[in-house]
Amino acid sequence: MWKRFLMALSVLIILGSTSLFNQLYAQTDYESIPPEFFRRNLGGPRLGVTYLPGNGELVNKLREGKMDPVLSQFGWHFEWQVAPKGGGPAFVIEAVPLFAGVEYGKFIPSATLAMGIRMPNGIEFGMGPNLVATGTREVKSALVLAVGKTINYSGVSLPLNLVFATNPSGQRISFIFGYAIAK
């Protein structure tokens, strides 16, 4: 009999405390307070280096063009970010057109659209589609995965990103960096 009494009492305490919590939560009415966000544009120049490991189709196309599997990268970074005013992670959309191979007298365009998150400490990660022209009027697509850290110094952001792109034609590993002044 005591077991049933204690079990019933436990259930009542749990239900009562849940009900009390719900009443307190409803009284503060958190759901009716809309979140506030701020937007920032952190676009700016980007440069870096890309390495194509292995012996895939992309590496072979580079060799046919008398290029090594290490290429310079130059371009611009367009970024839109939305972050809660109270703090927390920022949601980021980036468009990054780059040009590679200028040291070989070539002009290899690529474009990436990445979506990701930047934590308040500057650690960031994202992913998205990438398109690269292979030089034979052919455009290859790839999936890009990126991780990095943005260092803020007196209103200037210094992003450092490690990027991995993959598709059936081969993989690419890039280190891209630059700067941005918040607008």
pTM for the whole thing?
Answer: 0.75
Residue whose structure tokens are 């998205």: 128
Cα–chain-centroid distance for residue 23? 39
Residue-level pLDDT at 157: 87
> Quick count: other Cβ atoms within 10 Å of Cβ 149?
15
- Find the angle CA(178)-CA(140)-CA(95) to the nearest 5 degrees: 30
Residue-level pLDDT at 163: 96
SS3 70: strand
pLDDT tens-digit readout, 108-160: 999 999 999 999 899 999 999 999 987 667 888 999 999 999 998 888 889 99
pLDDT tens-digit readout, 61-100: 888 888 899 999 999 999 888 888 877 898 999 999 999 9
Query: One-letter amino acid identity for 170?
Result: G
CA–CA separation, 60 vs 62, rounded Å? 5
- Find the angle CA(21)-CA(22)-CA(28) to the nearest 5 degrees: 95
In order of 53, 124, 159, the CA distances from 170 in angstroms are 8, 25, 26
